Amino acid sequence: MIRVKICGITRPDDGVEAARLGADAIGLVFYDKSPRSVSIEQARAVIAALPPFVSVVALFVNPAREWVDEVLSACAIDMLQFHGEESAEFCRSFHRPYLKAVRVKPGVDLLEWAGQYPDARGLLTDAFVEGAHGGTGATFDWTLLPEGLSLPLILSGGLDEHNIIEAVRRVKPAAVDVSSGVEASKGIKVAARMAAFISGAKHGSV
């Protein structure tokens, strides 16, 4: 069964609602240039409100090691997600499961990327938008995704309740990740959109 992550959670109520609707994981953004960025205090409030068995993923973009260590010491984080140019050595050095995000465009060799991060739990594919590191709402050409990827594929980038069934049926990813596609505004989730998205992902994978 496909896994679903709702990323860019900023409010405890949104995290609780995502979990109630069937999300397997929620994402917290620790990147101050993102409009969905959370402080450690906000993150702790979201995590404290979650029910059991919902994974918490912490997203970083080219972070200082000290910042990752600070987040990990203060918050109950299950997995790390790196969206910048972090090396595999850096990603694995925190001794936590991690995902590596890749912004996809023609000429990007995902097989090579997977080979560079062999111990990642998955390769998260997002749309390439100049100067942005995710959360743009832009899609990319799914035909650029190769077969035979050595890591589980997590599809993101412009997904919403309208295209999620087609995306899952065409790409057959291990998981999907959504942020802007279930929002009223940046960081503010809409329960009905989350419900439709999660339902579509699960339905499309059957």
Reported as a single tens digit per residue, the pLDDT across 71-117 is 999 999 999 999 999 999 999 999 999 999 999 988 889 999 999 99
177 in Cβ contact with 198 (< 8 Å): no
**pLDDT at residue number 204:** 81
- 7-22: per-residue pLDDT in tens? 999 999 999 999 999 9
Residue 130 has pLDDT above 70, yes or no: no
**pLDDT at residue number 178:** 96
- 156-177: per-residue pLDDT in tens? 998 999 999 999 999 999 999 9
In whole angstroms, give the CA distance from residue 103 to residue 124: 8
CA angle 112/65/98 to nearest 5° reads 45
Specify the number of domains making up the chain: 1
**pLDDT at residue number 34:** 93
In whole angstroms, give the CA distance from residue 40 to residue 69: 12
* Residues 6+ away with beta carbon under 8 Å from 109: none
Q: How would you classify the pairing of strands 175-178 and 153-155?
A: parallel
Give me 154's structure tokens.
């997590």
CATH code of the domain containing 99: 3.20.20.70
- 15-62: per-residue pLDDT in tens? 999 999 999 999 999 999 999 999 999 999 999 999 999 999 999 999
Domain of residue 152: give its range. Answer: 3-204
pLDDT bracket for residue 134 (50, 70, 90): low
In whole angstroms, give the CA distance from residue 105 to residue 89: 25
In whole angstroms, give the CA distance from residue 159 to residue 168: 10
**pLDDT at residue number 105:** 87
**pLDDT at residue number 141:** 87
Provide φ and ψ at 182, rounded to 5°.
-125, 25
Residue 153 has pLDDT above 70, yes or no: yes
Alpha helices in 34-84 (DSSP H): 40-49, 65-74
In whole angstroms, give the CA distance from residue 77 to residue 90: 17
